[in-house]
Copies of this chain bind each other. A is one copy, B any other.
């Protein structure tokens, strides 16, 4: 396995650039990685060496990083022969007193040097952030290079252990937070762009809340954050929510909390889920501060709506026979009142069908196609209301043709919905949405 590696590395590297890491450089890395794997000179020295190696990694370009990660993935895995022996002993021991030791031995045989090496990188300052970013690299390279998969799986599993929700801190972020942190919100906001510090300050006003999860070792890095508006009705339009000129609502009178933006910030934590815990804990915190709150709902985009219509022109034709997708996305139809009314009716029906009927190809074919729907329905929310022209921004038109949806978190039915969704893919709906989705 090892023998062919340099060639293989050279081939992938060579396929892209004329110059890549030289064989000698690969040999240096190989030697250093082996020293890390063996903890030569003791754990303390090893960490120091690993830190140097991590610094080296930071200095590499994408090509070098890819080669470096391949080296770890391909050469520092478990030894198949040792695994075979341990497995044989394990199966022989099943049912006897020796089973338990044999199980542990098999597990040990599978434990690879890869994760030992990566964990040692944790020794540099901000080591956790380093590994999260390294996995973000890995995920990018993985798209074209499936042989990185075992390293990715091991790293994901380790990050899942480190980012267990029990370790995360829920923090409310206010205008008193450090500018260096607030700046990250501006950078990371993935749903409704924060246009300026004034826009941000407006989102932190007394009728708003912003919560984030933090890891104790990444103190200035929000992992995921949610923006909440306190109001007295189910909000149907995001421009109205974000209007900096709008009067401030007296939050003590609020009976409804609208989650109008949820952003994951760390590409390297893909597959490590904590978004559902976030909403649960935010709801707890809001209930404590505002005992009059009765309704918890989102105002969400339908990010896959326009592409679904593009791939399914017959759907569009059925509800809006005169419409043309390009024109819809441009938003020109919104100018004429009559056209807008008619189009909105059709869009509401289309959106209802899209959300409740369109399924993702991956999984068992029962998961909704829309990723935001998957998230909230998986959390036990129900599709409460479709809001045509809920987001008239260029992005809103392009992705969702302006449609937004309220997912309602009814605390009494959450667990029931989660169960049904998980068991049979059942999608919870309000009667109004069911009516819209019904074939004519």
Interface contact B104-A149, CB-CB below 8 Å = yes
Task: Tell me, yes or no, whether A324 is within 8 Å of chain B by CB.
Answer: no
Interface contact A127-B179, CB-CB below 8 Å = no
Kindly state the separation between the CA atoms of A391 and B327 in the bound complex, as whole angstroms.
Answer: 53
Interchain Cβ contacts under 8 Å between A and B, 20 examples: A41-B419, A42-B379, A42-B380, A44-B379, A45-B414, A47-B277, A80-B90, A80-B94, A83-B90, A83-B106, A84-B87, A100-B149, A103-B150, A104-B149, A107-B157, A119-B164, A122-B164, A176-B178, A176-B179, A177-B178
Kindly state the separation between the CA atoms of A94 and B87 in the bound complex, as whole angstroms.
Answer: 15
* Cβ contacts A404-419/B at 8 Å (1 or 0 each): 0000000000111011
* Cβ contacts A42-67/B at 8 Å (1 or 0 each): 11110100000000000000000000
Chain B positions within 8 Å of A182 at CB level: 179
Task: Name the CB-closest residue of B to A279.
Answer: B44
Kindly state the separation between the CA atoms of A153 and B109 in the bound complex, as whole angstroms.
Answer: 14
Chain B positions within 8 Å of A146 at CB level: 97, 100-101
Interface contact B179-A44, CB-CB below 8 Å = no
Report if A166-B42 is in contact (Cβ < 8 Å); known contacts: A150-B103, A177-B178, A179-B176.
no
CB distance from A193 to the nearest CB of B (A): 16
Interface contact B216-A217, CB-CB below 8 Å = yes
* Cβ contacts A140-168/B at 8 Å (1 or 0 each): 00000011011001100110011011110
From the candidates B1, B43, B104, B197, name the one contacting A153 in the complex (CB within 8 A): B104
Chain B positions within 8 Å of A179 at CB level: 175-179, 182, 197, 201
Kindly state the separation between the CA atoms of A23 and B148 in the bound complex, as whole angstroms.
Answer: 48
Interface contact A166-B217, CB-CB below 8 Å = yes
From the candidates B127, B166, B276, name the one contacting A166 in the complex (CB within 8 A): B127
Kindly state the separation between the CA atoms of A217 and B153 in the bound complex, as whole angstroms.
Answer: 26
Task: Tell me, yes or no, whether A347 is within 8 Å of chain B by CB.
Answer: no
